[in-house]
Amino acid sequence: MRKTALLCLTLLTAPLAVASPAENMFGYRQGVLSYSKCLLGHRGDTLPDKAYASLLEHADEALEHSLYSVVDKTQLPASGNRHDYFSFAPYWWPNPETVDGLPYVQRDGEYNMATKTNATDKQRMISFARDVRQLALAYYFSGDIDYANKAAQQLVNWFVTPATRMAPNMAYAQAIPGRVDGRDIGIIDSRLLIDVANSVELLRDTPALSQDEYTSIKSWYTELLDWLLESGNGREEEQADNNHGTWYDAQVVAFALFTDQPELARKQLAITQQRIADQFDAQGRQPEELERTRPWHYSNFNLEAYARLVDYAGRLGLSQWQDTNVERALRRGFNFVAEHALQDESWPYEELDGFEPGTALGAMMAAALLFNEPAITQAAAQLAKQQPGAVEQLLYSPFHALPGISQCVLPAGK
C-alpha cells in the first residue's frame, strides 16, 4: 500500500474550511468533510482514521485500474451505437420453458449476475463511479495529486474524449431479452453519476482537471438532464410511485444544481414534496418497498434518495420542506428504520436474503445530519461502530460516536 499508513501532520491543526455559496449549493458537504479531515490523526483508533486507511487502500488499487469506457462492451444495444449505455434488468432470467431462453422471466430480488459481465455496461459504470469517488476523496483527504490525476483521467475518458465518451442518455438501460430494448426503470442505473458529479466538484480548480474539461463534463450532464426531462423513458420514470420515482427526482435535482439550474431543482423538489404523503404511512412504513422480496434493502434505498433530497432542499432554502406534514412524514420514515436497525430481531417482514442491520448505515448517518431525532442518532452511532472502515464515516462523520476534540467543530446546523 503506497500511502495507507501515512497521515499528514498538517491535518492535526487544519482549520475548518468555509464553503462558498456555490460550493454550498452542490457537492459533498464541505463543512462535514473538513470536520472529518480535522479529526484525522488526533487519535489513531477513531472511526474516521480507520475509514481513511480503508479509503487509501482502495484508492491505491484504483490507481492501477484501466480507464473505463462504454465502448468496451462486447454486446451492442438495439441502437447499434457502442457509445450508448447498455445494461440488462438484474432480476430477469432465461426462460426455462423455451429452447432459446426467450423471453426472459422475472424473479424479483434474485440478482442475475450474468447482467454484470463485460458484455454490457452495468458493472463498468459501477466500477467507474466507485473508482472516481475513492480517488477524488483520497485526494481531498491526503493532498496527493496522483489520486486527482487518475480520477480526472477516468472522468475525461468517460465524458469527454470523442472515441470513448458515453452518449448522454439511458435509453437502453435494463433491457430485457425477448421483451424490450430498454426501460424507464433503467434510469435507476445513472443514480451513480450523482456522486461522480460530487467528485468532479472536489477536483474543480485543481491541476488535475482543466477548466475546459470541467466545462465539457458539465455540458454532458446538461445533455443527460435534458434527456431525463424530455424522453419518454424519463417522463415514465418520473411517474413511478416507489424508489424509482424518488431516485429520478434525486438525479434531476442533483444534475440541475451541478449544471447551475437552481430553479429547475426547485421545480423538481416541489414534485418530490407531493410524493412523500403517498410513500409513507402513519407509522413511517413504505408500503411499496415493503412489498418487495428484500423490503429492508429497498426501504433504506429509498431513504438514501430522500436524504439527498432533504439536503438539497435545505441548501436551496426551501422553507416549505419544513412544513409540518412533510417533515413529520420523513421523520417517521427514518425513525421507523432506525428503531428496527437498533433491534434487528423486531423486523417483521420476510427477507429473501436475511436481515442485515448494516444496510441502514448510509441512510442513518445522512439522516443524523439532517434531523435531531434520538433514535436516528443512536442508530447512526451504533452502525458506525459496527462498520469502522466504511467511507460514510468520512462523508457524514460519525460525530455521535466520537469523543469531543476541541480543535474540530462541526459547522452550524451540522
pLDDT single digits (tens) 181-215: 999 999 999 999 999 999 999 999 999 999 999 99
Q: Is the pLDDT of residue 2 over 60?
A: no
In a domain, 19, yes or no: no
Q: Does a structural domain hold residue 99?
A: yes
What's the CA gap between 240 and 363, in Å, rounded?
21
pLDDT at 354 over 60: yes
Higher pLDDT, 362 or 413: 362
Average pLDDT, stretch 224-239? 98
Q: Quote the CA–CA distance of 375 and 377 in Å, as a whole number.
A: 5
| Cα torsion 72, 76, 80, 83: sign | negative
The one-letter amino acid code at 380 reads A
Cα–Cα distance between 290 and 296 in angstroms, integer? 7
Measure the CA–CA gap between 396 and 385, rounded to whole angstroms. Answer: 14
CATH of the domain at 109: 1.50.10.100
pLDDT 10s digits, 263-309? 999 999 999 999 998 999 999 999 999 999 999 999 999 999 999 99
Global pTM value? 0.92
- Please indicate, yes or no, if residue 96 is contained in any of the structural domains: yes
> What is the structure's pLDDT at 397?
73
Per DSSP bridges, beta strands 92-93 and 105-106 are: antiparallel
Least confident of 76-85, 123-132, 311-320: 311-320
Indicate the number of domains in the chain: 1
- 3-43 pLDDT tens trace: 433 333 233 333 323 333 444 789 999 888 998 898 887 76
Domain hosting residue 77, numbered range? 66-239
Confidence band of 164 (pLDDT split at 50, 70, 90)? very high
Nearest to 361 by CA among 287, 412, 300: 300
Mean pLDDT of the chain: 90
**Cell numbers placing 267:** 421545480
- pLDDT at position 31 is 87
Distance CA 158, CA 165 (A): 5
The three cell numbers of residue 20 are 462558498
* Contact call for residues 305 and 122 (beta carbons, < 8 A): no
